[in-house]
Amino acid sequence: MNMGQAFNFPAVYLDRELSFRLEISFFLGVVAVLLLVILPKSNATLRNSSLASSYGKNNLRIKFQKILGIFWIIDGLLQAQSDMPRGFIPMVVEPAMTNQPQWLEKIGNLGINMWTLHTVSTDATTVVIQLLIGVMLLVGNDGLIAKAGLNLSVVWGLFVWVIAEGMGGIFVSSATLLNGMPGAVIFYVIGAVVILRVKDEKFKDGTFGKLIWNLIGLLFLVGTVMQLLPAEGFFKAGNLSQIFQNSAANSQPEILKAPMDFLTTFATSHYFVLNVIISAVFFITAFGLLSGKKKKFWLYFVSAGLFFMWWFGMDFGVIGGVGTDPNSAPLIFLYLYIGYKSVLSGLKVQAVVSLQNPDILQNPDILQNPDILKKHSTVGGSNSIENLVDETASKLNPNLQDINAEPTLATKKFVLPYRVIVSAWLTLSLVIATVWIMIPDLSSINEAMSTPQVETAALVDSGGLAQVPGNPMSPNFTLINQRGQKTSLRQFRNKVVILSFLDPVCYETCPVVAEEFIQTAKMLRNKSSKLEFVAVNANPYFVSLTATRSFDSEHGLSNLTNWEFLTGSKTQLEHVWELYGAVTEVPQVGMVAHSLLVYMINPEGKESEITQATGNPGTNLEISYAQMFANEAGRLMGRG
């Protein structure tokens, strides 16, 4: 085997220095979090008036903030999955940008190019930013750190929502709540704005809860209309079943996959009935949330529907190796839950006030919650509504007694400063790490803005074309082409050769690579006399001319005048595979597994570049590979 074979394939994303930076920052963050967890939390701490505010009057708002922080941390950890550097663009961003308005595609192009030019640093930056936001929301309580985290959540969330989620698919036909419309990240943005702008009293008196339930009701009402609109296509065969089929396609335990397969089959043959049922459930949900009756029944009913959507339509959001977040269903549930707690808090306040004003007892919401009246009937000795509300808060939060008391010496000199210092350390370490990792990305913004998207997708998918060390002569071999003629590699000297290894009976990846070559040939149609496509049979059992001819005919290769599909005996093929480092494995069941190596050979017969194609489907990706091959072939022609 010569120097050009089986060497280290394009793995530019394995940047050890960036990985080392990320590990350092992550270690510092973990240490800081552990310290924050084990630090003492005495009543003296809570007696400090500022902290009492955070844990008392802002209790529900701060709880909302902390749960959002946990979601951001989950997203950051998901972004650190091993498949992310190479799989994020083709598996997440490109599908989200498919069939989008042209202006949105142009915006998405910037993000795609940034990721492609620096796959590891961009992924690492994403990981650290999301961990940073999450930690700031968790440890900041109601201080400057939390406010900075919330503002960063708005800015970063909008960026991710537009570029990575394609604005949640709201401009795409067949948009539906079932698979996550309007996108998960927009709920992070809205939540951050709410926590920043909505006053604590609005959480406490139920105003926020009523508003948020009404907004979720409107969302389901819009979802009902979209589910029923003929233009969305859910009353046509295939559109509805495709949603469940996409979820079932992810690698997952059979116990999760089997029900999805069943629903896919049912949706294929009974799509009309199923869509009517789904639309009816959406409408009932909207009616219940907009009815003004914020009852626990509707919390349970909507939660069950959200779980169905999360499982069958979103596949829990995190399955498959490139899941970036739990998707929108858990976020909608979070809003629903916080809204319900706000409404319940409002009813409790009304119950307390009603003890001084019996007319309020006519309120049906109060009468339907006798436990509230019973629980708070002992606070009727107060002389003002304000005192009654404060006493109610004290009963709901026993640890907040004496919140106006002066902080103790220990609180002033030890507990509070220590926690603040550690919180600042944690935040500062992640900020420095983010800036440190972002340096390569920031230096390439101009290039990312000017590079066409079509030239970048293949680089992310495969790592791009890697230079063959030393550019050795390509080993010669002689096989039989699809026309039954003896053909050697040497006879194509003075031409650029694109050499590949394809299975003539493959029905998944090889047809995709063949289509990439067809597109390459179209791009270089005026230079076809200087270019030759040579494919070597990668299947040791289907070696006949009939097999190679059938492949050519089925996939449109017969019309290419500069296409050679070579085959021979099993022994001859194995010799060629060994020369070029092509690996072929024959399983007991199923298709042959083999390397999708593609060599670029210059007119002098020397190996110039090599890549390992993936065979991932997608029009944009196929055109990107074709453009990559065409660009390099054109360069080699010019050099020759």
pLDDT of residue 405: 41
Is the CB of residue 308 less than 8 Å from the CB of residue 298?
A: no
Nearest of 613, 582, 592, 578 to residue 539 by alpha carbon:
592
pLDDT band at 167 (very low <50, low <70, confident <90, very high): very high
Q: At what angle do helices 144-163 and 102-117 cross, to 10 degrees?
A: 110
pLDDT tens-digit series, residues 28-52: 555 555 555 455 444 434 334 333 3
Higher pLDDT, 375 or 479: 479
pLDDT band at 292 (very low <50, low <70, confident <90, very high): confident
Q: Which amino acid is at 262?
A: F
pLDDT tens-digit series, residues 451-461: 555 556 677 67
pLDDT of residue 417: 57
pLDDT of residue 352: 58
Find all residues with CB under 8 Å of 430, minimum gap 6, and list them: 25, 28, 29, 128, 131, 132, 135
pLDDT band at 378 (very low <50, low <70, confident <90, very high): very low
Higher pLDDT, 429 or 499: 499
pLDDT band at 25 (very low <50, low <70, confident <90, very high): low
- 6's tokens: 């089986």
Statement: residue 526 has pLDDT above 70: yes
- 204's tokens: 């406490």
pLDDT tens-digit series, residues 194-247: 999 998 888 888 889 999 999 999 999 999 999 999 888 899 888 898 898 888
CA 433/CA 565 separation, integer angstroms: 51
Q: What is the pTM of this model?
A: 0.65
